[in-house]
Structure 1
Amino acid sequence: MNESDIFEVVETEQIPGAKFEVVQYKSLKGSDNLYVAEKVFFANKADIHLKMIRVTLERSEILIEPGALYFMKGDLQLKSDIQQGLSKGLMRKFTTGETLFQSRIKGSGEVYLEPTFGHYSLFNIEEDGLIVDKGAFYCASADLEVTAKMQGNVSSALFGGEGLFQTQIKGTGVVVLVSPVPTAELLIYQLKSGEKLSVDGSFAFARTASVEFRAEKSGKSFLQSATSGEGLLQTFTGPGMVWIAPTEEVYKRLGAFNTSMYPVTR
């Protein structure tokens, strides 16, 4: 059976020497375990697909999270090192949750990363870098640099809901991020210089580095903020782009409801 009979490509980004694809199984055929077969049946009915990242290299190189490799085919070499040296690697690990070591795959061939029922988003970075949620980085073309970015002001660090550091991706190339929701559910806003986007929650997924982020009161005073029921808002000021995931909080509430109704037992 050909791969095209099993997989379908749902998203693609390409640069010279590397093509990044999100591929998904058209359907899962089941299991000899009845419990697993039941889960597979409902996953198929709910249109939930098992996905993988496939990267096709032509005398090129990619950077992946250690442990993400599933299998690869072709003239390819795998090695691990500490990106940007030990000090920067330690800073990235302890401030953003990214790993100390990064794996690199170099050569020509096809690389498949571990399958998941989760979601991926592909970004082609050309000029302005990206600032993303901690732990969102999954893999990238080798010319990109993954570092820790300290929040630019006290309000965003203490009250913004994102912590003191986030992950910054700089350079030119393609990066694959683990998305909290399907890519089709991400809203993208292109902000003009000085234009604001205010979010009541922590569901802003990514922004270009030119966008300023801070936590602001929803009203002119703390009293107004308290009486409005909104409190502090995540505020993004252009110019630049912001990706938000409005359905993320809904899925979290549904997951919490399911856990309370049907507690997990060991």
Structure 2
Amino acid sequence: MHGYDEQVSYRIKLSEESSSGLRAELYAICKVTSQLIQGVAGAEPSFREVYTDTGQRQIRFVLNQDSVVLEPGILSYACGALQFEVVQQQQGNFFQRAARSSGGGESAFGTRVTGSGEVWTEPTRKHFVFGTMSPGDSMLIDDRAYYAAQGSLKMSIHTHARVQGVLSGNGLMQPRLDGAGLFVIESPVSVHEVEVLDVQPGHTVTLDGDMMLMYSASMNPRIGPLVRGLRNSARSGEGLVYTLQGPGQVFLTPTAVAVGSLA
């Protein structure tokens, strides 16, 4: 019988992140073939396994008396002393992809897994970013990016107070995470291509909202023309841009806009 720490041969672990009793592991799914190796004369030939990356990725969550809240529909299988429940977040404060097809972009439901054991998500060609938050941290996430979060994190919906928020690539409302714990988000590019900007107090960062993956909730977002005046705005060729006021961190995916992921 296989224990939880043993991996089947077609999965190769790429990275992992831990927080308290939860560990998230990212795997590449590979095609495995046997290659004949001809030794010196008179020696017996041998075989070696050759791994070819299929481009598919899969996540394993290992729980030790902890919990994780999954976006609905991503569970592949699980084993261990685990309990499952469909949780309803009050006041409409939970995003998930299933409702986006209906145009709402918002759902009140999630799947909470609690106990000790392992949970595997469905294989996908998406990229993933693991992150951990400390007490007092708050992050706003692109509404297409949320995937899973440790049960210790508070999930809610942040509503932009300014009307300009409706015009941004992230819409009027965004998922918000508060507290301490581990979270996983989907990214259009590899984690190696994600650029992190540390914005100092009094400084700003100006960018195309489509390349923004997440940012500190302490920042004050607004959207508007790059330069004032209709004529100047037309001459700049930039149209409307997203501006964030420091202090805080901004996570960008600059390679995704033009060419998609390079990985």
Task: Tell me how far 1:243 sits from its aligned partner.
Answer: 0.5
Give matches, 1:55-66, under 5 Å.
55-66=61-72
Aligned AA (1:105): V
Q: 1:215 aligns with which of 195, 217, 223?
A: 223
Task: Tell me how far 1:11 sits from its aligned partner.
Answer: 2.6
Q: Determine the structure 2 residue equivalent to 1:149.
A: 158
Q: Determine the structure 2 residue equivalent to 1:167.
A: 175
Q: Determine the structure 2 residue equivalent to 1:7.
A: 11
Distance 1:48 1:236, change over 3 A: farther
Q: Determine the structure 1 residue equivalent to 2:58.
A: 52
Task: Tell me how far 1:201 sits from its aligned partner.
Answer: 4.7
Write the distance in 2 (CA, Å) between the matches of 1:19 and 1:111. 10
Distance 1:154 1:124, change over 3 A: same
Aligned AA (1:66): P
Aligned AA (2:127): H
Distance 1:184 1:4, change over 3 A: farther
Q: Determine the structure 2 residue equivalent to 1:255.
A: none
Write the distance in 2 (CA, Å) between the matches of 1:233 and 1:21. 36
CA RMSD of aligned residues (A): 2.6
Which ranges in structure 2 are unaligned for 5 or more consecutive residues? Answer: 34-51
Distance 1:201 1:209, change over 3 A: closer
Q: Determine the structure 2 residue equivalent to 1:114.
A: 122
User: Aligned pair count?
Assistant: 235
Structure (1 or 2) with the larger CA radius of gyration = 2
Q: Determine the structure 2 residue equivalent to 1:132.
A: 141
Superposed CA offset, 1:176-205 (max 9, x none): 111111111110001101111111351111
Write the distance in 2 (CA, Å) between the matches of 1:48 and 1:242. 31
Superposed CA offset, 1:102-148 (max 9, x none): 11111111111111011111110113211011131111110112211
Write the distance in 2 (CA, Å) between the matches of 1:48 and 1:129. 35
TM (normalized to structure 2)? 0.81
Q: Determine the structure 1 residue equivalent to 2:79.
A: 73
Give matches, 1:14-29, under 5 Å.
14-25=18-29, 27-29=30-32
Write the distance in 2 (CA, Å) between the matches of 1:17 and 1:208. 25
TM (normalized to structure 1)? 0.80
| 1:228 and 2:246 are equivalent in the alignment | no
Write the distance in 2 (CA, Å) between the matches of 1:96 and 1:169. 20
Q: Determine the structure 1 residue equivalent to 2:46.
A: none
Q: Which moved more, 1:146-155 or 1:58-67?
A: 146-155
Percent identity for Structure 1 against Structure 2: 28
Q: Which moved more, 1:96-105 or 1:62-71?
A: 96-105
The structure whose residues are more often helix, as a share, is 1
Q: 1:182 aligns with which of 175, 179, 190?
A: 190
| 1:88 and 2:97 are equivalent in the alignment | no
Q: 1:102 aligns with which of 110, 121, 124?
A: 110
Superposed CA offset, 1:17-52 (max 9, x none): 111121212x2249xxxxxxxxxxxxx5xx652111
Write the distance in 2 (CA, Å) between the matches of 1:77 and 1:91. 22
Write the distance in 2 (CA, Å) between the matches of 1:8 and 1:213. 40
Aligned AA (1:130): M
Write the distance in 1 (CA, Å) between the matches of 2:181 and 2:8. 27
Give matches, 1:217-256, under 5 Å.
217-251=225-259
Write the distance in 2 (CA, Å) between the matches of 1:16 and 1:174. 9
